[in-house]
């Protein structure tokens, strides 16, 4: 039975951390290594980790250089065959989420990564949006950031070949999956909801605006570093319009405030 390392990165996340921990330790798949990487929380997060220490294989608490650094740190601690990141605002959709991913990997033993779908929930735990498809690639390019790290497991040895780039503050997972896809090809996609990601569906926050800018930066850098990468003008135009929409909404909100 292959082992999967699940990494939770947290910093002052006591509000939702317990839900995250419970969704991991209640999984039906038994061969799970659970790792929590805390960035030096001061809000009671460490008390929650202490409460469940018998269910957590590795827990560290120390300052880091940002999310990418903390995620890479978790990977270096991992000893599983696979790795998946489920952060302190995230939960698995049900108790069989890991089992669904593992079953797909058994049927496709040569694959380097397996991905499913994500649901989005607000602060009241209400699901307000769901992934409905994975348009992975078209003519040699991942169309947009549709691969979610919360619902994707990667072979640890392949992850260590790629790792997260600390250059990107928000779109590090998009950059990671582009490079993983370029080296190891398309993932196995399963038609299952794997994880729930917490997002306030009523706001277009400055973080969301910044993440769009970061995604565009990833696309530009990827194009520069991969000359055989096929640019899709139509998709790039749609992406630019999306950026403009967020830009104007963000700045209009700032002016109102």
pLDDT for res 231 = 53
Q: Is the pLDDT of residue 100 over 70?
A: yes
Residue 108 inside a domain? The answer is yes
Report percent pLDDT > 70 for the chain. Answer: 78
Instruction: Identify the domain containing residue 160 by its residue range.
Output: 4-201
Q: How many domains does the chain have?
A: 1
Phi/psi region, residue 135 (left: phi>0; alpha: psi -120 to 50; beta: rest), is beta
Residue 253 inside a domain? The answer is no
Residue 72 inside a domain? The answer is yes
Distance CA(211)–CA(168), nearest Å, equals 9
pLDDT for res 130 = 83
Q: Is the pLDDT of residue 236 over 60?
A: no
Residue 28 inside a domain? The answer is yes
Select the more confidently predicted residue: 28 or 200. 28
Phi/psi region, residue 140 (left: phi>0; alpha: psi -120 to 50; beta: rest), is left
Question: What is the value of pTM for the model shown?
Answer: 0.86
Task: Tell me the CATH number at 56.
Answer: 3.90.550.10
Residue 133 inside a domain? The answer is yes
Q: How confident is the model at residue 186 (pLDDT cuts 50, 70, 90)?
A: confident
Residue 126 inside a domain? The answer is yes
Predicted confidence (pLDDT) per residue in 147-169, tens digit? 889 999 999 999 999 999 999 98
At residue 191, the 3 state secondary structure works out as strand
Residue 242 inside a domain? The answer is no
Distance CA(180)–CA(202), nearest Å, equals 33
């Amino acid at each position: 039975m292959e082992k999967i390392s699940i990494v939770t990165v947290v910093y002052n996340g006591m509000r939702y951390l317990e839900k995250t921990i419970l969704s991991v330790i209640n999984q039906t798949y038994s061969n799970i290594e659970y790792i929590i990487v805390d960035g030096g929380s001061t809000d009671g997060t460490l008390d929650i980790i202490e409460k469940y220490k018998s269910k957590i294989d590795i827990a560290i608490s120390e300052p880091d250089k940002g999310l990418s650094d903390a995620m890479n740190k978790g990977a270096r601690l991992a000893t599983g065959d696979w790795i998946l990141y489920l952060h302190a605002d995230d939960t698995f959709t049900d108790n069989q989420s890991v089992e669904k991913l593992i079953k797909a990997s058994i049927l496709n033993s040569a694959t380097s990564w397996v991905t499913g779908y994500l649901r989005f929930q607000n602060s009241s735990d209400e699901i307000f949006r769901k992934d409905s498809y994975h348009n992975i690639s078209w003519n040699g390019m991942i169309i947009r950031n549709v691969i979610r790290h919360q619902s994707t497991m990667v072979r640890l040895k392949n992850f260590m070949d790629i790792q997260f780039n600390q250059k990107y503050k928000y779109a590090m997972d998009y950059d990671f999956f582009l490079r993983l896809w370029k080296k190891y090809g398309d993932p196995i996609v399963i038609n299952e909801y794997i994880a729930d990601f917490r997002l306030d569906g009523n706001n277009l926050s400055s973080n969301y605006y910044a993440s769009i800018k970061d995604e565009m930066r990833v696309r530009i850098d990827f194009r520069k570093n991969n000359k055989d990468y096929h640019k899709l003008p139509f998709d790039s135009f749609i992406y630019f319009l999306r950026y403009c929409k967020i830009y104007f909404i963000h700045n209009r909100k700032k002016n109102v405030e």
